[in-house]
Amino acid sequence: MLKLEPRPEPSKSWGLGSPLLALAITVIIGVLLFAALGKDPVRGLQVFFWEPIKSPYAIGELMVKATPLLVIALGLAVCFRSNVWNIGAEGQFIIGAVCAGGVALLAEKDTGRWIVAAIVLAGILGGMAWAALVALLRDRFNANEILVSLMLVYVADMVLNLLVYGPWKDPAGYNFPQSKTFEAVTQIPRLMTGSRVTIGLVLALLGAAALWVFLFRTRAGFAQQVGGLAPAAARYAGFSSRKALWIALLASGGAAGLAGALEVAGPIGQLTPYVPAGYGFAAIIVAFVGRLHPVGMVFSAILMSMFYIGGELAQSRLGLPKSLTGVFQGLLLFTLLACDTLILYRVRWVGRKLAGGLQ
């Protein structure tokens, strides 16, 4: 029979191989799922893994989806490495979008391009303010940041709905719950003509580089990680746990707010009830599949965006529900958690002892 045997030390090779094995298992389960639904498994895998990269335009759309996922995941990595469990990045994303949208609605046709910087800054500050509520309640009242951040997601969603159904509703919008379309001057600059990819992609990649420097080349980044791995050692070294808490949540909230600003002033172009796209929750998977490492999260963000686009294509071309996206995301997370067992344990075959001591 199979037996799990503790390793003398964590396996570095399985630390890298576990996400690949998890992806392979997810694909195998996906094939079985397509077959059970009466669909061609090959066509199903093609929709998820080939269609999103088959043309320059498709790759551009892939980058549009990957940008907010990567930006949010970078902020979450700071939290998780600090042992601060911010599960409410979706709410910070929404409030960032609301604040950025509020500034964008002030723009007129003759407004200068400086408004773009104000929109981005408003999104960052909005996300930070929403995360600061979590930090304040954790710091002052020892409230559980998991529950607080998660519950604030629903509050943020209601704030958005209040505005788009109420004072910010477009009077010329045929009573649809949406703001007016933002002026062209407010649009985040695009990288190239004919593509929806904005400079947000450049900001995301620069953010990944900055996070690498912060985590692995600065004393402040070292202090954040020591506080997460060994709180007692951090206190002994003189690192402030309160400071680490605030830095982690403000960085995470600011990144989520930035993603919200890039979305509403970029591909969406207005505020609607459909601004919440689940990026804040999916970015948690992106962060862990990427091993909380900036380089790993770049690739996992691309993978997760393939699931988003594949789910939309599966709905239109195969007649499958869009919720299939969430199924693949959940499968990837759970298989990753299962495969991570191999980092600390090795699998051994142990023969059963029979009567008389024979095996």
Q: Concatenated DSSP letters for 268-291? A: I-S--TT---SHHHHHHHHHHHTT
Query: Residue 354: its pLDDT value, please?
Result: 47
pLDDT tens per residue across span 144-203: 999 999 999 999 999 999 999 999 999 998 999 999 999 999 999 999 888 899 999 999
Query: Residue 359: its pLDDT value, please?
Result: 52
- Tokens representing 13 are 């090779």
Query: Residue 231: its pLDDT value, please?
Result: 76
Q: CB 4: neighbour CB atoms within 10 A?
A: 12
Q: For the chain, what are the domain ranges?
A: 40-319
Query: Residue 279: its pLDDT value, please?
Result: 96
DSSP, res 51: G
pLDDT tens per residue across span 111-140: 999 999 999 999 999 999 999 999 999 999
pLDDT at 358 over 80: no
Hey, which residues does 190 pair with through a beta bridge?
198
pLDDT tens per residue across span 313-335: 888 888 888 788 888 888 998 99
Mean pLDDT score, 247-252: 96
Rounded Cα gap, residues 225 and 5, in angstroms: 29
- Per-residue pLDDT band at 104 (split at 50, 70, 90): very high
46: Cα separation from own chain's centroid: 24
pLDDT at 357 over 70: no
pLDDT at 234 over 90: no
Query: Residue 350: its pLDDT value, please?
Result: 77
pLDDT at 228 over 80: no
- Per-residue pLDDT band at 352 (split at 50, 70, 90): low
Find out whether 282 and 304 touch, Cβ atoms under 8 Å: yes
Query: Residue 208: its pLDDT value, please?
Result: 97
- Of the two residues 285 and 236, the one the predictor is more confident about is 285
- 40-319: what CATH class? mainly alpha
Q: What mean pLDDT, rounded, does the chain reach?
A: 92
Find out whether 183 and 204 touch, Cβ atoms under 8 Å: no
DSSP, res 182: P
% of the chain at pLDDT higher than 90? 74
Rounded Cα gap, residues 261 and 252, in angstroms: 14
Query: Residue 27: its pLDDT value, please?
Result: 92
Find out whether 269 and 181 touch, Cβ atoms under 8 Å: yes
Rounded Cα gap, residues 62 and 280, in angstroms: 17
Query: Quick check: helix, strand or coil at residue 153?
Result: helix
Find out whether 61 and 126 touch, Cβ atoms under 8 Å: no
